[in-house]
Amino acid sequence: MRTTRLILLVSFALLPIDSVFAATIVVNDTGDALHSPGCATTGAGTCTLRDAITFANTNAGPDVINFNISGAGVHTIQPASSLPNIGGPLTIDGYSQPGTSVNTLPVGDNAVLLIELDGSLAGLANGLTVYTDNCTIKGLAINRFGNPGISIDVTGGGAVGGHVIQGNFIGTDPTGTIARGNTGFGIYVRSPNNTIGGPNPADRNVISANQLAGSPGLSANIKFEADFGVNTTGNVAQGNYVGTDASGTVALASANSGHGIIVQNGLSGGGGGVTIGATSAGTRNVISGNPLFGVHIASIPCGPTLREPAQLETAPAESRWGAEPATPPSAQRAPAPAT
């Protein structure tokens, strides 16, 4: 008997720390309260998104935030201020909410999103702020924040990036058809080795209508920026709809929308190393409906890899590559489904 107990004890001690302490926290309340004591300290009970992120930040992880909010239809979470910065490896999975489903279409996006983060009450806040490595965010509609919908910035923590952003609608309503832009950028990335989208239909993000009032030239639906000693090497954007609605054929922009994608080198940090699209159909982005450049490359001595010129709608009178007219995307940009 003593031998058996010793073996079990030793086996438990040899488990990786993450497997012992990882937690799944279930958001079941659309409110914005911080329950402490409560879910914010235990990860259980009545749990808001604010509670869940707060608990995950104190737990060894990597952790998972799932959703199980009662009732049918879209569940809207309206933070009254900035949500906590994400400080450790974490998956936020909007597709865990009952009734949701991922996109299955090779052309278009029929994802059913039922978790909406609405920043209209949060002031100058990011939707989600990632200050760590190795996070996944999927299945959310993120809109109307006073700053970017998602900010990934290793100057606040982390070093290697490794984040995955897939299956979200950023800057639109949960149907992907109504413009509800975030301010500045839909997704802001100052970090290496991140994936936005991917080759499969379920990976596709719709990232549109994000804007900056009075300065549209400074705004973009996606921005990769190398600065403060941070490089952008290893970032990939594939399979996304950038500037269109969920169909991929209708422009979706606000009056102050700017560029589709910006890749920029700042005062310090290594630019370049960003891959936009690839050669297979599933990896090509649809980048259209953006009032300014489709892809704007700024001060990059060694620029991004652009794999998809046929997917960018260009204005014949413009000499700048990737500039777009104000017209909706043409049928050329979204290949017809196979018959």
User: From first to last of its 339 residues, what are the pLDDT tens digits of the chain?
Assistant: 444 443 333 333 444 444 447 999 999 999 999 999 999 999 999 999 999 999 999 998 899 999 999 999 999 999 999 999 999 999 999 999 999 999 999 999 999 999 999 999 999 999 999 999 999 999 999 999 999 999 999 876 667 899 999 999 999 999 999 999 999 999 999 999 999 999 999 999 999 999 998 888 899 999 999 877 788 889 999 999 999 999 999 999 887 789 999 998 765 556 668 999 999 999 999 999 999 999 998 865 555 666 554 344 432 222 223 333 333 333 223 333 333
**Burial 24-39, CB ≥16 within 10 A → b, else e:** ebbbbbbbbeebeebb
> For strand 136-138 and strand 274-276, is the pairing parallel, antiparallel, or unpaired?
unpaired
- Cα–Cα distance measured from residue 50 to residue 43, given in angstroms and rounded to the nearest whole number: 11
Is 154 a domain residue?
yes
Neighbouring-strand partners of residue 26: 66
What is the pLDDT, as a whole number, of residue 255? 75
| Structure-token pair, residue 117 | 């983060």
Is 38 a domain residue?
no
Phi–psi pair at 197, nearest 5 degrees:
90, -145
Is 107 a domain residue?
yes
Is 180 a domain residue?
yes
Domain of 107, in residue numbers: 2-30+62-331
Instruction: Quote the distance between the C-alpha of residue 223 and its chain's center.
Output: 12
Q: Is 20 helix (H, G, I), strand (E, B) or coil?
A: helix
Is 193 a domain residue?
yes
What is the pLDDT, as a whole number, of residue 155? 77
What is the pLDDT, as a whole number, of residue 6? 35
Is 209 a domain residue?
yes
What is the pLDDT, as a whole number, of residue 320? 29
Is 110 a domain residue?
yes
Distance in Å from the first CA to the final CA of the chain? 67
Contact 196, 240 (CB under 8 A): yes
Q: Is 98 helix (H, G, I), strand (E, B) or coil?
A: coil
| Structure-token pair, residue 74 | 């879209």
> How many residues are recorded in the chain?
339
Is 195 a domain residue?
yes
Q: Is the whole-model pTM more than 0.75?
A: yes
What is the pLDDT, as a whole number, of residue 267? 59
336 burial (CB, 10 Å; 0-12 / 13-18 / 19+) is exposed
- Cα–Cα distance measured from residue 13 to residue 25, given in angstroms and rounded to the nearest whole number: 24
Phi–psi pair at 245, nearest 5 degrees:
-85, -170
Residue 291, preceding peptide bond in cis (omega within 30° of 0): no
Q: CA gyration radius for the chain? A: 20
Number of domains in the chain: 1
